Amino acid sequence: MNIRIFELERIQSLFENTVDYNLTESGFHPYTLEELLTAEQFKELTKRVIGYGQTNGSIQLRKNVSFLYNDVDEENVLVTNGSSEANFIACHTLLEKNDEVIMMVPNYMQIWGIAEEMGCKLKAFHLKEDNRWKPDLKELKNLITNETKMIALCNPNNPTGYTFTKEEMEQIVEIARSADAWIYCDEVYRGAELNGITIDSFISMYDKVMVNGGLSKSYALPGSRLGWLVGPKTTIADTWAYHDYTSIAAGMLSQYIGEIVLEPNKRLEILSRNRNMLNGNLKTVKLWLDQYGDIFEYVEPQAGGMLFIKYNLNINSTELAEWLRKEKSVFILAGDVYGMDKHFRIGIGERKEYIINGLDRIKEGLTERFGL
Ligand SMILES: Cc1ncc(COP(=O)(O)O)c(C=O)c1O
C-alpha cells in the first residue's frame, strides 16, 4: 500500500465513539430528519424508489448547487459522496504523476495524501500564526514554477478558521495565472462564517478554477454524505468519468434532502441556526481558555466549526490528547495530525452543554496533571 494513513480522519474514526465527550468534530451538531423536513417532505421521501437516479446528480440538486456560485449552471456541477470524494476525483482529474502541487498549510491533509500517492511533487506555503494566520503569498510566489499544475487551498480554512480577503484571492489568482496552474479550493466550510456574510467562491475569478462543497459542515448533515464539485463544463464532464469508477452516484435519498436543504429559505434557516451556535459557543470557549492566562493562545476563527489553540505546557500534543481521552474520556484533536505540535483543535459547533461538560473534563485533567 502506497498511500499514507490519513491520520486526522483515522484517529477520529478510531476514538470519537469511545468517549463521553468528543470535542474533535469540525462541523455542527447534526440534524435529524424530523427536525429538517416538513411532514409532506417526509412522506415524499418515503415514496421515492431507491434507484441509482441520475448518476452525476439530479438536475434539481445541481441547479440548486449552481445558484450558490456566479456564472455557472447545472452542467458545471458534479454531485459526489461527500466533499472528500470530490477531493479524490478532482485530484485524479487534474493531476498526473510528477506534477507539482503547492498546498496551503495547515490544512485538511486529504489532498496531500492523494497527490503524494499519485506520484506528484508537493510543496507547502504557510498561513502565518504570528500574523493572525494570514497567508504568506510571497512564499507562494517564490514556490510557483512553470511545472506547477495546481495550487490547493482550503477557504475557510480547516483548522484555523481563516478566510482570505478579496485582495488575497485576487493575488492568488494572479500567481496561478502566471504559471497557468489550476486553483483547487476546498470550500466545504463556506456558509459557516461567524459574521453571517458568505465569502466569495473562487469560481468565476479565473478559468482554471475548481471548488468543492457539501452538506457535512455548514449544513450540519455529515451523514448525508453529499458533496459536489464545481468547475468548467468540460472538466466537470471529465470528473464524471472518474465518478463512474469511484461510486457511480451519490445516494438518491440524500440528493432529495440536498434539493430541500439548498432551497434559498431553508438554506438561510440552517446557516443561521449553525451561526448562532457558533457565536454562542465561541464566547463560552474563549472565557474558559482565558481563565488560564497565557497557557492558551488562539486567533479567533472567522468561519467554520472549530478553534485551533496553541498551548504552553510541557507535553506533546498526541500525548496530551491520548492522556485526556484515556483518563478523562474527553477527546481533542492533537496538532500533530497537522504537523503542528503544541497545538490542539476543538470543535465549537456542538450543543453548548456538551461543550461545557467536555471542557470541565479537560479542566479536571489540567488540575490533576499540571496543577492548574
Ligand atoms: C476541509 C475539509 N474538506 C473535506 C472534508 C470531508 O468532508 P465530507 O466528505 O464529509 O464532506 C472535511 C472533513 O472534515 C474537511 O474538514
Transcribe 299-326 into DSSP letters.
---SBSSEEEEEE-SSS-HHHHHHHHHH
Which one of 10, 22, 80, 108 would you pick to mutate in the ligand 1 pocket, going by the greatest count of ligand atoms within 8 A of its CB?
108
Q: 39 lies in a domain?
A: no
Domain range for 310: 7-32+267-370
CB-based contact 80:183 (threshold 8 Å): no
Is 37 inside a domain boundary? Answer: no
Q: Is residue 248 located within the same domain as residue 283?
A: no
Q: Give 132 Cα–ligand 1 centroid separation in angstroms.
A: 23
Q: Is the CB of 227 under 6 A from ligand 1?
A: yes
Q: How far is the CA of 62 from the centre of ligand 1 (A)?
A: 19
Q: How many CA atoms lie within 13 A of 138 on its CB side?
A: 1
Q: Which residues of the chain have pLDDT under 70?
A: none
Residue 27 Cβ inside 6 Å of ligand 1? The answer reads: no
Among 37, 63, 32, 56, smallest CA distance to 48 is for 37
Q: How many domains does the chain have?
A: 2
Integer Cα distance of 105 and 186 in angstroms: 13
The answer, yes or no, to whether any atom of ligand 1 lies below 6 A from the CB of 188, is yes
CA torsion sign, 344 to 348 to 350 to 356?
Answer: positive
Question: Does residue 82 sit in the same domain as residue 221?
Answer: yes
Asked whether residue 257 falls in the same domain as residue 173, the answer is yes
Look at residue 368 in the predicted model and tell me its pLDDT.
97
Domain contains 205: yes
Contact 83, 188 (CB under 8 A): yes
Same domain? 257 vs 275: no
86 and 233: one domain?
Answer: yes
The residues facing 130 across adjacent strands are none
Edge-to-edge strands, sheet with 296-298: 296-298, 306-311, 343-347, 333-334
The candidate with the shortest Cα–Cα distance to 188, out of 221, 150, 166, 237, is: 221
Asked which of 239, 263, 287 is the last residue of a domain, the reply is 263
| Residue from 133, 180, 178 nearest 155 by CA | 133
Look up residue 247 and give its DSSP letter. T
Q: Is residue 38 situated within a structural domain?
A: no
Same domain, 365 and 346: yes
149 and 195 co-located in one domain: yes
Task: Give 296 Cα–ligand 1 centroid separation in angstroms.
Answer: 26
- Which of 233, 263, 293 corresponds to the end of one domain? 263
Report the 10 Å Cβ neighbour count for 301.
26
What is the per-residue pLDDT for 1?
86
CA distances to 71, 160, 319 from 334, rounded to whole Å, are 40, 14, 8
CA distances from 185 to 47, 98, 206 (A): 37, 21, 12
Pair 250, 109 in one domain: yes
The whole-angstrom separation of Cα 331 and Cα 346 is 9
**264 upstream amide cis, omega within 30 of 0:** no
Determine the pLDDT at residue 346.
98
Query: What is this structure's pTM?
Result: 0.97
Q: Are residues 72 and 169 in the same domain?
A: yes
Whether residues 199 and 335 fall in one domain: no
Q: Is 108 near ligand 1, meaning CB less than 6 Å away? A: yes
Final residue belonging to a domain, choices 238, 263, 288: 263
